[in-house]
Amino acid sequence: MKRENCKYLVVGLIVLMSTTVWAAEQAPLWPGVDYIIGPGDMLDISVWKDEALTKLVTVLPDGRISFPLIGQVTAGGKTVAQLTKELEVKLTRYVPDLDLSVIVHQVNSMMVYVVGKVNKPGRFVLNANVDVMQTLAMAGGLNPFAKSDKIKIFRKTDAETKIFDFDYDDVSKGEMLEQNIMLMRGDVIVVP
């Protein structure tokens, strides 16, 4: 009996390890792409050895933050490195030998929306790179009345709105996997 349990344990570990390796190979890695700050994000901005210039600030809906000595600064749409550089330039005239740190304390701007015939429609915060299937799972899956082959993803860019088709049945069978796109800030999944 013990030997049989050991055999099942070994088989289970092999399956787990192979699944983990497969998942790691499938995980989207976006090297070289820096996070873009957005409205609602909380930033921890600190000047070393200066309590008055150490603040936890929230990016306002218009993309701006307020910081002592320099007032309003646009943070939305910039990377952490770009914002740090801009703050350093503005603060250098007030603080000699400036040692500035900007950290994204909390990501709140990475939202996607799922509407229509899912079990839990709503908005979802993306704390990781997720695809359409993962987001539909967060929304509790499709309800029985959903038209699973007519799902659309709407992505608004500066100039236009792109629409991507998604067939749940095909993707769940391992077919047409290119439809299972990685989602971006503001994407809307519509399940008719």
Give residue 57's pLDDT band: very low, low, confident or very high (50, 70, 90).
very high
Domains 42-106 and 111-191 agree in fold: no
| Amino acid of residue 192 | P
* The pLDDT of residue 138: 95
Question: Cβ neighbours of residue 47 under 8 Å, at least 6 residues apart?
Answer: 53, 54, 91, 95, 98, 99, 100, 101
Q: Name which of 22-36, 46-60, 123-137 the model is least confident about.
A: 22-36
* The pLDDT of residue 13: 37
* The pLDDT of residue 154: 97
Domain 42-106 has CATH 2.40.33.10: no
| Amino acid of residue 63 | G
Distance CA 22, CA 10 (A): 18
Phi, psi of 56 (to 5 degrees): -105, 115
Higher pLDDT pick, 7 / 79: 79
Pick the CATH number of 111-191 from 3.10.560.10, 3.40.50.460, 3.40.50.2300, 3.90.1330.10: 3.10.560.10
In the chain, domain spans: 42-106, 111-191
Tokens coding 142: 């499709």
| Average pLDDT value for residue range 24-44 | 68
Tokens coding 105: 């304390």
Q: Which DSSP string corresponds to 9-66?
A: HHHHHHHHHHHHHHHHHHS---TT-PPBP-TT-EEEEEETTEEEEEEEEE--TTSEEE
- What's the pLDDT tens digit per position in 59-108? 999 999 999 999 999 999 999 999 999 999 999 999 988 999 999 999 88
* The pLDDT of residue 181: 95
- What's the pLDDT tens digit per position in 124-176? 988 788 999 999 999 999 999 999 999 999 999 888 999 999 999 999 999 99
Highest mean pLDDT among 9-13, 108-112, 187-191: 187-191
Tokens coding 7: 């055999």
* The pLDDT of residue 158: 81
Phi, psi of 62 (to 5 degrees): -85, 5
